[in-house]
Chain A
């Protein structure tokens, strides 16, 4: 505001005009090439998704035509008798993913808060690096870790829970270790780095002035974090959580290895279940019947729709959250 205004025109126009004069034709061309080039890249992403969706719809048409809505409302998956309904896989996908978030969000957010607000400076880098390293571990390694370390470890825990709280349906069924709980735990470790890394960035981006203002008003550290810091970072944190959810929904290999792959809707956390991604991974290679293949492609379509729905909900949530409090950043 305090910049001295040039005599003639308003500053941006004047600057642009002089720039054009100086750079002449070449820069203009480069500008335009850059613009169209990036537009082409941007459009290609949209085209790719459109093409993907069209292919899925086309290839799943026989199954969708035969089963109609019962394809997503029925849980009968029987390749031998030609009955295909994916409700059990939708259920397994959603429940394991949400459960994974329930485990990972408190830990991930807690770690992010520690790193951003409380950690001594020398500890910040190594811990952040280690957490982000979790994201670089291949899925299959998590699967093997799940089978050989996690499952034997939670088997006695499950047995104990069952002995104490077996009257609750959540803890019934044979405690083999393999099942929804194991899948959710593996997923929670896999999504942890996304939640922590993104939340930490968001928290660090909250202006120091906000904190100082809160301290100046006599707020304790906890009050400062709970109030201005978390409030400003809210939308970013929700975004991080939703990104993690998207990752959990699509995860295939590690889940397939520990979930038990059972085409049923279980009530117990200990029961084996199925996810859409593992269903496709398991059966596609050996599917020979037209209807079977088409039903598997249908499952892929459902997974795509589910992912899009999650992202749409995420957008809505972020809009609502940011709409509530308008924080100058």
Chain B
């Protein structure tokens, strides 16, 4: 028995040894004919980007585009290392992060999306209403039962059950969490002191589930659960989602239209810097938990052929590309923001022609 065990171990060692030796090469793919652009980053806009890439391939078959939704963090790292041609992130880079990049970066808002507050309990009818402070209190663990007065007062005519609230949040770092916590931090001082905003935060209460689909699944099957997911996931999973009170006092449900309402108010502020927050926007009918998702590109492009292809794709994305947003539950950009993007894309084009065929 000993002998056999040893043989097995030896065999294992040999296999591991060869595997270890073999794992050396993974080279980024170059292109033989035409241009291949690679991008990497956020998973939040991935459905939209993959649609764009598929549609753009019909218009411009000579440019091949490849997008890996490895997460904003990974996308930024890869852009920094120069292994991808464009990055994508839900949260814009901070001034510090911009400085850490080897060359100036341009942010292009690509679309806007919403985070829906989803919940489930037995015999639920209709839409529940929430205010910012009540949501913050729930996620802080201060409101622990569904029949709490603060929820009941907002929802006359709805009898919420005497059930503990099970808070479900994302366990993985995500742009969705960033947007949701930046809303909570905006409306609640206590939230911003205690938890703060970020892609991963220290949640005061709750259970962590992986991915939008994980949160949606867990909310669906846990009685009395509340969570937050990107709007598309709430709709696909037929989850009930709440109406959130806007600063104007209306209760707004998330939709492409209500996100668009949030974006229109932001256009003037974006003249100066596109990295604005449209959370808790004051506009009429604006859904409070809305945000832009960004494409990140270097202002100076090193490779003229790639720059040309990139500019072509970006121009298309800002014009025809926007028409695909609504079907996928994103809000298309308002015209003023599209105009800003077009100016920015001109700068990329100019920069690249100046750089020549480096």
Contacts and interface: CB of A to CB of B under 8 A. Distances in A.
Contacts of B97: 288
Interface residues of B, number: 45
Contacts of B214: 257
Nearest to A256: B210
Contacts of B175: 286
B79 to A, nearest CB: 12
Nearest to A272: B207
A106 B77 CA distance: 48
Contact of B171 (A177, A236, A278, A284): A278
Interface string B200-213: 11110011111000
Contacts of A174: 164, 166
A48 interface: yes
A176 B208 CA distance: 12
A292 B173 CA distance: 11
A79 B201 contact: yes
Given A261-B210, A286-B71, A329-B1, A45 B16 contact: yes
A282 B171 contact: yes
**Residue among B14, B203, B218 with the highest chain A CB neighbour number at 10 A:** B218
Contacts of B196: 80-81
Interface in A161-189: 174, 176-179
**Residue among B164, B166, B173 with the highest chain A CB neighbour number at 10 A:** B173
Interface string B212-227: 0010011001100000
B20 A205 contact: no
Contact of B1 (A48, A202, A261): A202
Contact of B210 (A38, A45, A177, A257): A257
Contacts of A201: 1, 4
B6 to A, nearest CB: 12
A212 interface: no
B58 interface: no
Interface of B: 1-2, 4-5, 13-14, 16-18, 20-21, 70-74, 76-77, 97, 164, 166, 171-175, 195-203, 206-210, 214, 217-218, 221-222
7 contacts: A152-B221, A205-B1, A257-B209, A281-B172, A283-B200, A288-B76, A288-B199
Given A176-B166, A261-B208, A288-B72, 9 more contacts: A44-B20, A78-B201, A79-B173, A201-B4, A205-B1, A260-B208, A282-B200, A286-B73, A287-B200
